[in-house]
């Protein structure tokens, strides 16, 4: 554990023990942003032998972060960023918004980047979509097409940040949207019905086993959804770049984009064993790769470079992590509190996002201090604009 067990909520500790006690579990690494979730905690890395628990991944398959440093400095930005936020919100659908006819890939130069015909052809091989009794595969495909390049709601966001040199960054957080949730929910329910999961301490931890049709089907659907999430962020990033240029009335240069999943499955080798690793609220640090660890809508984020710590299954936290539920935050904090805690940030400051108030999250700097053996800090970013769904 990369946090003090005595300071970890009781429900989270029960979930961690349940995961560790599964007969297929090789090990569990607990990140400093850990908090209670459904089945498995958010902020946990679970390595299994010949099995995978879809509930230990969660329902936003492939959810993650993308960030890119711009050629702009703080002095290049207007005193008020209201027009920039409005332009991003117009061009990049948020909340329940979608692209009526799909994102305009030609306009943002994304048409040639991916073999879209092959990608959407793989949609037709998805196993679980035919089990969605409330809809059809055709309707799911249409919605998935319309939601590619959209933000969603909850803790998903688009931000403009400044680093220590006052260089501006674009950053965003989103995942596989409705199609990822549909696929995850259907597979979780399928796993719960398998005989080998009958006596588990928590049915939300039901697993699929290697060598079974159910495992083959889950992997097929899972890996497609993770790719959808990656492409969703790529399209969104190009939409955000175009919106920023339009709002500023000038071309903007960009560095190399950083992108990382933090809700996903990967097949990795540790202790000489081929394991299936689920990260639910954790990023990979393998190969010293770059990563992003965000805070809340007023506290900024960190750009990091990973350290290969095998005890953590080469992982680090995915963010600050919540310290209270959304309902608890709505009861404790007011709109006035939100306005005070996001002072100086161009963002929504209304009752619809009170549950995302910085005070509902753990202290990001404290979380970072607990994992200095997992990552090196490359840049500390402070938020100056945040778009929420």
Active site residues: 318
Nearest to 364 by CA among 24, 22, 33: 33
Residue 55 to residue 278: CA distance in whole angstroms: 10
Q: Are 39 and 204 in contact, with CB atoms under 8 Å apart?
A: yes
Residue 206 backbone zone (phi > 0: left; psi -120 to 50: alpha; other: beta): beta
Q: Write out the two tokens for 270.
A: 């540790």
What is the Rg, in whole angstroms, of the alpha carbon atoms belonging to the chain?
Answer: 20
Q: Write out the two tokens for 78.
A: 């207007």
Neighbours of 186 (CB within 10 A): 22
Give CA angle at 57 (55, 61), nearest 5°.
115
Q: How far is CA 361 from CA 60, 108, 319, in A?
A: 20, 35, 9
Residue for token digits 């992003």? 292
**Alpha helix (H) residue ranges in the chain:** 10-21, 82-91, 116-123, 137-147, 177-192, 213-248, 326-332, 335-341, 364-369
251 by Cβ neighbours in 10 Å (0-12 / 13-18 / 19+) ranks as exposed
User: Any idea what DSSP says for residue 203?
Assistant: G
The full length of the chain comes to 389
Close Cβ partners of 119 (under 8 Å, ≥ 6 residues apart):
227, 231
Query: Would you call 305 helix, strand, or coil by DSSP?
Result: strand
Q: Are 157 and 173 in contact, with CB atoms under 8 Å apart?
A: yes
The dihedrals phi and psi of 234, each to the nearest 5 degrees, come to -60, -45
């Amino acid at each position: 554990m990369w946090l003090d067990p005595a300071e970890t909520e009781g429900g989270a500790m029960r979930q961690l023990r349940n995961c560790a006690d599964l007969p297929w579990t090789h090990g569990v690494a607990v990140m400093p942003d850990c908090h209670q979730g459904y089945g498995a905690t958010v902020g946990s890395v679970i390595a299994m032998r010949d099995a995978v628990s879809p509930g230990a991944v969660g329902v936003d398959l492939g959810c993650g972060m993308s960030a890119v440093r711009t050629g702009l400095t703080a002095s290049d930005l207007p005193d008020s960023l209201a027009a920039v936020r409005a332009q991003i919100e117009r061009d990049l659908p948020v909340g329940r918004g979608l692209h009526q006819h799909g994102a305009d890939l030609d306009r943002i130069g994304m048409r040639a980047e991916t073999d879209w015909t092959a990608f959407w052809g793989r949609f037709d091989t998805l196993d679980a979509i035919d089990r969605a009794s409330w809809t059809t595969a055709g309707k799911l495909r249409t919605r998935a097409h319309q939601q590619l390049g959209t933000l969603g709601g909850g803790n998903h966001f688009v931000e403009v940040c400044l680093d220590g040199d006052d260089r501006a960054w674009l950053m965003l957080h989103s995942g596989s949207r409705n199609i990822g949730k549909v696929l995850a929910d259907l597979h979780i329910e399928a796993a719960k019905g398998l005989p080998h999961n009958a006596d588990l301490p928590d049915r939300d931890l039901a697993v699929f086993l290697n060598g079974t049709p159910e495992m083959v089907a889950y992997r097929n659907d899972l890996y497609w959804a993770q790719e959808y999430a990656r492409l969703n962020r790529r399209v969104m990033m190009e939409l955000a770049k175009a919106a920023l240029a339009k709002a500023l009335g000038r071309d903007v240069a960009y560095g190399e984009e950083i992108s990382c999943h933090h809700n996903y499955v990967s097949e990795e080798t540790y202790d000489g064993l081929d394991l299936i690793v689920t990260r639910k609220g954790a990023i990979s640090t393998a190969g010293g790769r770059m990563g992003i660890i965000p805070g809340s809508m007023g506290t900024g984020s960190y750009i990091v470079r990973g350290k290969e710590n095998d005890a953590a299954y080469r992982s680090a936290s995915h963010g600050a992590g919540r310290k209270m539920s959304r309902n608890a935050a709505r009861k404790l904090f007011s709109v006035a509190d939100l306005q005070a805690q996001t002072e100086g940030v161009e963002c929504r400051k209304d009752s619809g996002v009170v549950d995302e108030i910085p005070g509902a999250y753990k202290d990001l700097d404290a979380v970072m201090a607990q994992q200095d053996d997992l990552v090196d800090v490359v840049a500390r970013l402070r938020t100056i604009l945040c778009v929420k769904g």
